[in-house]
Amino acid sequence: MSNAKRSINFAIAFMTVISIFTFIVPMIDFQSLGESTEIIFPNLLFFLFIVLFSFLQFLFRLLLTSKHYVKDKLFFTLNMRSSKLKNRTVLYLGTIMLFLWPVIVSKNISLIKLGNLLNLVIWILVIEALVYLSNKHTKIHFMSYGILIRGLDFRIDIPLGDSLLNHSGFYSYHDVQSYSIENNYLELVLFNNLGTIQGYISSDRIPPVSAFFESKGIRKIVRY
């Protein structure tokens, strides 16, 4: 996915969440909830900035890539190799910031209670579930006219100009500079240092896949 589309995706998700937080959340009468506010409000923030934000970015990717997924044009599909640590980092940082925000604002560390810590653990489990779904169900589809990465991709993508790594989207074979296969690990290098597409490939698929790439004019890099 190009940086322009990544920026649009981020902007739509961010503005939607901020709009809900700014205009809808204040309409909730938290005073009537009594002590339950201490549980409901933090969880509402976690839901908006973790779950809803991830879902909106996923929905945008799904809509953007749906037109490219044509079963009759599909040659083969590979599981992607993704940086699980990188996928977790943004979600963890966001969760920890939301967790510590009351302490930062009030400068009162006593606001951190056992219930809050247990709540944080629950949301870490939610993050792990999102990471698991994203890595297991986001696939690399090799179509007759390009490479399509799509699936249940709940990864939060912040377009900071970093190199792409298995970002959902469509990539023409003309965008691929070279490929390498080592230890059942396939790496496609995109032109202009745009990034890489990385996946796992079984031994029996290596010969036909190599022949397929050669037919597309993609050169092989042999690493020693």
Q: Domain tally for the chain?
A: 1
Residue 136 is inside which H or E element, if any?
Answer: helix 114-137
Termini Cα distance of the chain = 31
Place of tokens 């179509």: 143
- Spatial neighbors of 12 by CB under 8 A, at least 6 apart, are 56, 60
pLDDT at 84: 65
User: How large is the angle between the packed helices 84-106 and 37-46, nearest 10 degrees?
Assistant: 140
Query: What whole-number distance in Å separates Cα of residue 141 and Cα of residue 150?
Result: 8
pLDDT at 51: 93
> Which domain does 182 fall in, by range?
3-220
Pairing between strand 176-182 and 219-220? parallel
If you ran DSSP here, which 8-state letter would residue 51 be given?
I
Residue 176 neighbours by CB distance under 10 Å: 22
Q: Do 84 and 138 form a contact (C-beta atoms < 8 A)?
A: no
Query: What whole-number distance in Å separates Cα of residue 173 and Cα of residue 197?
Result: 12
Q: Give the number of C-alpha atoms closer than 13 A to the C-alpha of residue 15, restricted to the C-beta side.
A: 6
146 phi and psi, to 5 degrees?
A: 165, -175
Closest CA to 167 of 109, 83, 63, 107: 83
- Token pair of 194, please? 């745009």
Per DSSP (E only), the strands in the chain are 74-80, 138-143, 147-151, 164-165, 169-171, 176-182, 185-190, 195-200, 219-220
pLDDT at 182: 92
pLDDT string in tens for the chain (224-residue length): 777 889 999 999 999 999 999 999 888 887 777 777 778 888 898 899 999 999 999 999 999 999 999 989 999 999 998 766 766 787 888 888 888 877 777 777 776 777 788 888 999 999 999 999 999 999 999 999 999 999 999 998 888 777 888 999 999 999 999 999 998 999 999 998 889 999 999 999 999 999 999 999 999 987 65
pLDDT at 119: 85
Q: Do 95 and 50 form a contact (C-beta atoms < 8 A)?
A: yes
Domain CATH code at residue 150: 2.30.29.30
pLDDT tens-digit profile of 16-46? Answer: 999 999 999 888 887 777 777 778 888 898 8
pLDDT at 95: 84
| Cα 219 versus chain centre, distance | 29
pTM value is 0.87
